[in-house]
Chain A
Amino acid sequence: MNVIVIGDGNLGYSLAKSLSTDGGNDVTIIEKNAGMKNNTIESLDVRYIKGNGASARTLIEAGVRDTDLLIAATSGDEMNMVCSLTAKRLGASHTIARIRDPEYADELSQIKEDLGLDLVINPEQAVGGEIAKLLELPPAISVELFAGGRVEMAEIKAAAGMPIVDMPLKEIPQKIGSSILIGAILRGGEVIIPRGEDVILADDTIYIVGHPSMVFRFCAQIGIRVRKIKNVMLAGGGRIGYYLAKALNEIDMSVKIIESRYERCVELAEILPQTLVINGDASDSALLRAENIGDMGGFVSVTDKDEENLMTALLAKRNGVPKVVAKMDRAEYADILGDIGIDNLVSTKAVTANYILRFARGLQNAMGNFANTLYKIVGDRAEAIEFSANKSARLLGRPLKDLSLVSGVLVLAIVRKNEIIIPHGNDSIEENDSVILITKGRKLLDLNDILTGEETR
């Protein structure tokens, strides 16, 4: 696929990286300030054009006429709108724009229609939503949603003493009696796509798939104390803080934001009437204590600085907050940190890249079974992906146990209208079902990719 990325910033770079390595797309980057040019062309197999991505001349030079996907990811919302509008006029098949100003956020559907945009990405809003999901299910390290939120995949740490430890997976339905499925096990850095005989060990990280309420119940059944979070404190009232507070208010959590810039505090107070806005420094532990940090069910640090987020998160953990989330954009940091007690690290880059890759993967396969959702889990080592099964799928109506599936693939769930099927051998995939799969070590572009070579004939 030919892809143009406008803007070689944080987001543009990581998108170009994922798109050029994942799936082998031909990526061209357009950037006005060629300051990072050498760094980019030495590390990525992409073409680099210095120029203004909104000008027709530059876009034509970049080959916009044969472009399947154009992503406008410069720092300016208006610039991104003009870029995608121009590109669409010049013949780009699909366009994605980053639009993140909260003022536009409510008018997005109109903007999308007027500019002919195929997708609008608001990274801060996406991250805010991501963090809100984590606070909804506190034991989870991560939560991913499929089929419009009807299926949930939660990442949970198995601890010694839980009833599921040392139990073969096939016995879980009888002994615990819950309609969930263990989709993957992460043991010592290795991803295991489990079979019925596999056993969960203490300190494994497991991925639980099922209806959100079932997952919640399962957590309670295996002895994880799930208490709904009522009070959340946010450090940092930037865009992420705003979107997060808004999302949390919608699920009836009470939110307190600590923000150091007074003017921003006034703005926040204006746009977030249900939220308590505190003007002060979040890394000041006296202030945190004065604001009853000990009574908080959750603490989220989302300032611009990774280091500051880390330190305030540790401070919150020290003060006994049960669920602490920190925003951390540099993947290198997350790797060297390991387990230092912060419950979740969330990266804007990773969330946004996931979001756009999902769309790109769907495009690559527009003719076959459309991939609706894609999550890269455990640092790209496995993918959970959702396909809509249409007529082109060769496995329709056949019981799963009769299918010859490639190794490292597991069918996690089948969604048929409002019914969620946690599949057993006798279940089959029908037309118009949403099929959720997990895969390790291979890229799935089509539902038919899960069948082995013998099936293809």
Chain B
Amino acid sequence: MNCGMIAQSIGLLLYIEAACMIPSFAVAMIYGGGDARAFLFSILSVSAAAFAARLVKPARKDIYAKDGYAIVGLGWLLASAFGALPFIVSGAIPHPADAFFESVSGFTTTGATILRDIESLSAGILFWRSFTHWVGGMGVLVLMLAILPSAGAKAFLIMRAETTGPSADKFVPKVGSAAKILYGIYALITLAQAVLLCLGGMTVYDSLVHTFGTVGTGGFSDKNTSVAAFGSVYIEMVIAVFMMLSGVNFTLYYSLLRRDWKSVLHDEELRFYCALIFAAALGVTLNTYMGGVYKSIVEAARYASFQVISIITTTGFSTADFNVWPSASQFVLLILMLVGASAGSTGGGMKCVRIILLAKIARREFLRLIHPNSVSVVKLNGKTVESETLAGVLIFFFLYIAALVAATVLISLDGSDLVTSATSVLSCVGNVGPGLGVVGPAGSFAGFSPLCKLALSLCMVAGRLEIYPVMLLCVPEFWRRGNH
């Protein structure tokens, strides 16, 4: 473990976090709330911490795979902790556990909140809350790599630990350029949505808050009733389309820019993702219509499709209270929470590509039972998937389920009902936001004990970083210097 280099990277990360607070500071100044001072204080203290971390001089410059995991795991926990400062200092969320939960929920693009009355908060604080979605969606460390003038070969270790999906491949040779391209595409999508929302009659402030929540697939809104507050079909449609776009692997947009239509059209994950959205939306529409929740099929389709897209992309915006939907529809939403968006997108969950691979592995296993001597390989997009990657998918599946079970046991000790405990964990690990029961779209996580909030915060980080970096931090072997 090269502690010096880890401290250097985290110092750099905190500088970038301090820089990320500047827009919120500006918003606070414009809207004249009392929170500008809180932001100034936060910016200065984060910079001071960054400066202190940069004082640690590394003995050697080389880092290895495990250092990459340590940078990402520790970096996210520290960035979230420092991100909670504005909430605490401004007095908006006085309790540290609450503030940490809200900050983690922002950075991990979960969108789960402990606030009961969102609209009572000042403009600057709400802007910061949503801006963390934007930064966390594509990744704080990827942002760092995009900004660095030259990210060396070792930067790949950091990028690999932060981006999502079963196998990390660069689509351009240099890590630095890959990060720049991803953020470039991300910024374009953000700009497009903000403009479209403004055209729909939103104020610039509201449109930015909802854009950050959408493209980061986070789900924080500045309205108590989320997107439903606007009651506009146009706004719902814009948000739904951009949620869907943000749930797609961003490297496909790069293929589009290179006019490589074929690889986009034939991408198995994209096809599965679209098909799943269509099927789920259709099913939920029919189920809610026939269950008598909505009077007309058009109305059912409007709410059902928005909710399906919001849940599968793990955004968590809501236009309807699905707590009152029939249980079959609720169950579909829970499955979508588990599946999640595409690898390499800003969304969470297990990722569609892993589900595809799991199904293919299962099919291969059946084939082997029928023809014991048969030899077959698993292919994705026409290419053979290496057996290491396949094993990785299976192990990831196990760890994901194990994390869900362990956390649910822990939360249920708090005394909540089974549906609330199970869905709050599922929603947090999948970075979705709302669950069912008390934590439904109209509810909040305020009722949990501080310990539960910390556990759920850890779940969110673990889910965002795809388990390994966070889990490795807890393994003693990870920190030992010797051979044991």
Contacts and interface: CB of A to CB of B under 8 A. Distances in A.
Q: Do A and B come from one complex?
A: yes
Nearest to A41: B156
A interface: dominant SS:
mixed
B157 interface: yes
B174 A26 contact: yes
A24 B175 CA distance: 12
Interface string B173-190: 111110000000000000
B153 A26 contact: no
Interface in B120-157: 150-157
Nearest to B175: A45
Interface string A35-47: 0000001111111
A369 interface: no
B157 A20 contact: no
Interface stretch (B3-11, B35-43, B73-81, B164-172): B164-172
Interface in A64-122: none
A2 B172 CA distance: 10
B402 interface: no
A20 B65 contact: no
Given A42-B65, A45-B152, A27 B157 contact: no
A45 to B, nearest CB: 4
A164 B319 CA distance: 89
Interface in B379-404: 383, 386
Residue from the set B154, B155, B173 with the largest chain A CB neighbour count within 10 Å: B173
B242 to A, nearest CB: 29
B173 A26 contact: yes
B165 to A, nearest CB: 15
Contacts of A46: 153, 173
A383 to B, nearest CB: 21
Residue from the set A28, A44, A45, A50 with the largest chain B CB neighbour count within 10 Å: A45
A48 to B, nearest CB: 7
Contacts of A50: 383, 386
A344 to B, nearest CB: 30
Nearest to B382: A57
Nearest to A60: B260
A286 interface: no
A331 interface: no
A285 B384 CA distance: 53
Contacts of B172: 26, 47
B157 A45 contact: no
A365 to B, nearest CB: 21
Contacts of A2: 173
A24 B172 CA distance: 13
Contacts of A28: 173
Interface in A8-53: 20, 24, 26-28, 34, 41-48, 50
Nearest to B150: A24
Nearest to B156: A41
Nearest to B151: A45
A43 B154 CA distance: 6
Contacts of B154: 42-43
Contact of A47 (B65, B173, B383): B173
B257 to A, nearest CB: 13
Contacts of A43: 153-154
A20 B154 CA distance: 13
Nearest to A29: B173
Contacts of B152: 45
A135 B203 CA distance: 81
Given A26-B177, A34-B386, A45 B153 contact: yes
A36 to B, nearest CB: 13
B417 to A, nearest CB: 46
A188 B153 CA distance: 30
A424 B171 CA distance: 52
B266 to A, nearest CB: 13
A20 B153 contact: yes
A26 B180 CA distance: 15
Given A34-B386, A42-B65, A20 B156 contact: no
Residue from the set A26, A27, A28, A47 with the largest chain B CB neighbour count within 10 Å: A47
Nearest to A66: B258
B386 A45 contact: no
Contacts of A20: 153, 173
Contacts of A34: 386
A159 to B, nearest CB: 36
Contact of A45 (B169, B174, B383): B174
Interface in B279-321: none
Contacts of B176: 45
B153 A44 contact: yes
A2 B173 CA distance: 9
B156 A45 contact: yes
Contacts of B174: 26, 45
A175 B174 CA distance: 54
A34 to B, nearest CB: 7
B157 A48 contact: no
Given A26-B177, A34-B386, A47 B170 contact: yes
Contacts of A27: 173
B156 A48 contact: no
Nearest to B386: A34
A288 to B, nearest CB: 42
A47 B170 CA distance: 6
A20 B172 CA distance: 13
Contacts of A26: 172-174, 177
B47 to A, nearest CB: 29
A41 B152 CA distance: 11
B157 A42 contact: yes
Contacts of A42: 64-65, 153-154, 156-157
30 contacts: A2-B173, A24-B150, A26-B172, A26-B174, A26-B177, A27-B173, A28-B173, A34-B386, A41-B156, A41-B170, A42-B65, A42-B153, A42-B154, A42-B156, A42-B157, A43-B153, A43-B154, A44-B153, A45-B173, A45-B174, A45-B175, A46-B173, A47-B169, A47-B170, A47-B171, A47-B172, A47-B173, A48-B170, A50-B383, A50-B386
Interface of A: 2, 20, 24, 26-28, 34, 41-48, 50
Given A45-B155, A47-B169, 8 more contacts: A34-B386, A41-B170, A45-B156, A45-B174, A45-B175, A46-B173, A47-B170, A50-B386
Interface of B: 64-65, 150-157, 169-177, 383, 386
By Cβ-Cβ distance, the 6 closest A-B pairs, closest first, are A45-B153, A26-B173, A47-B173, A47-B170, A44-B153, A46-B173
